[in-house]
Amino acid sequence: MPIISYREALNQAMREEMERDASIFVMGEEVGHYNGAYKVTQGLLQRFSERRVIDAPIAEMGFAGIGVGAAMVGLRPIIEFMTFNFSLVAIDQIVNNAAKIFQMSGGQFNIPIVFRGPGGPAVQVGSQHSQALESFYAHIPGLKVVMPSTAYDAKGLLKAAIRDDNPVICIEGETLYGTTGEVPTEDYIVPIGKGDIKREGKDITLVAWSKMVWTCLDAAKQLEAQGISCEVLDPRSLRPLDVELLVSSVRKTGRCVVVEVGWPMCGYGAEIAYQVQRHCMDALDAPVERVTSDDVPMPYAKNLEDRCSRSRET
């Protein structure tokens, strides 16, 4: 099986889907002539022309809303946010329009749109560029939220998102674009709402998505040396959440720690903890723990950033 980068996997997903369906187009800042701020859309303009790879000026609310309008009448836009931090100026379009129009219209107008781009803190880019916003979007009925951790999942989830008839938020790991993994050449999707056991274990379930899957896999290796067997569960989709897989894993291990890069207050890990206590109360040997960043806007200085990001238990 070919080994390709996470970035290339996402690129292949868009390219192959655009070959298959002429109603799909990509729109965003620097997606065309510049080949993408993170080069995820590399080469798409040359292949599909300016009609289907549309460079937008800096107007997230405008082009996100244009995507929603185009989706209402049957096109299938992929809207790239240069980073999800900038999605905050488009949140009215995502939350008030994309997520609600199917319901507000009594089921007449569904919105087949993908909002994608990198999220989560990178390295020393300061507070406005270091945010994990998945908890925001996972809160909203009418949206789906996916967060791939591997190249395989990136391609399969993005393809599933593009084929989905609903608005899907695809938050990519900003620091994962250069990571590599096996990706089959034949067509496949990763179904939205299906989690994945990234490592089997019997003593404890570590729940993590995106970049934190890799952190947990490292931790599992270290703990193995101490005789502790960790299961690493990657939900891959935060909305809908694969509760069944979560419950079966925790029922097996009896312990659960959720590891996320986001803030603790109302963070997504709180929902995981709720589901675990609701469905696994009698099987738990210990309270569910969360590891999050510190509850502050991300500082710039490297030592402070490390301190802020590192293993805060709540």
Partner 1 sequence: MVGVLMTTPESARVEPEAAQPDVETTVAELAPLYRQMLAIRRMEEACAKAYSQGKIGGFLHLIIGQEAVCVGAVAAIQRDDYVVATYREHGHAYAKGIAARPIMAELYGKKTGLVKGLGGSMHLFDKATNFLGGHGIVGGHVPIGAGAALASKYRGDGRVTLCFFGDGASTIGGFAEGLALAALWKLPLVLICENNRYSMGTPLYRSLAVEDVSLRALAHGMARDRFDGDDVVKVKRRIAEAVERARTTGEPTLVEIVTYRFRGHSMSDPGLYRTKDEVEEWKRRDPLHRSRDRLLTLGMAPAELEALEEDVRLEIEDSVRFAEESPAADSYLPYVIKE
Residues annotated as catalytic are: 60, 129
Does 18 engage in binding with partner 1 (CB under 8 A)?
Answer: no
Q: Which is nearer to partner 1, 141 or 227 (CB)?
A: 141
Among residues 7, 144, 211, 255, the one that binds partner 1 under rule CB under 8 A: 144
Which two three-digit tokens encode residue 176? 């994962």
Coil, helix or strand at residue 261: coil
Report the candidate in 2, 24, 17 with the shortest Cα–Cα distance to residue 158.
17
Q: CA-to-CA distance for 208 and 128, rounded, in angstroms?
A: 23
Residue 299 in tokens: 């500082």
Region from 86-94, 196-204, 245-253, 274-282 binding partner 1, contact rule CB under 8 A: 86-94
The reply on whether position 105 binds partner 1 by CB under 8 A is: yes
Distance CA(296)–CA(2), nearest Å, equals 41
Question: What is the contact mask toward partner 1 in residues 254 to 293, using x (rule: CB under 8 A)?
Answer: ----------------------------------------
List the interface residues with partner 1, window 146-205 (CB under 8 A). 165-166
Residues 59/29, Cβ–Cβ less than 8 Å: no
CA distance 45 to 177: 20
Judged by CB under 8 A, the stretch of 121-129, 138-146, 172-180, 271-279 that binds partner 1 is: 138-146
Do 252 and 233 touch, CB atoms closer than 8 A? no
Select from 30, 37, 39, 61 the one that contacts partner 1 (CB under 8 A): 61
Of the residues 59, 265, 286, 301, which one makes contact with partner 1 according to CB under 8 A: 59
Nearer to partner 1 by Cβ, of 56 and 132: the residue is 56
Q: What Cα–Cα distance (Å) separates residue 261 from each residue in 121, 212, 213?
A: 8, 7, 11
Member of 70, 78, 170, 220 binding partner 1 (CB under 8 A)? 70
- Greatest Cα-to-Cα distance within the chain, rounded to the nearest angstrom: 58
The dihedral through the CA atoms of 89, 143, 236, 286 has a sign that is positive
Which residues within the stretch 24-43 sit at the binding site for partner 1 (CB under 8 A)? Answer: 25
How many of the chain's residues bind partner 1 (CB under 8 A)? 41
- Contacting positions for partner 1 (CB under 8 A): 25, 51, 54, 56-57, 59, 61-75, 89, 92-93, 96-97, 101-110, 141-142, 144, 165-166
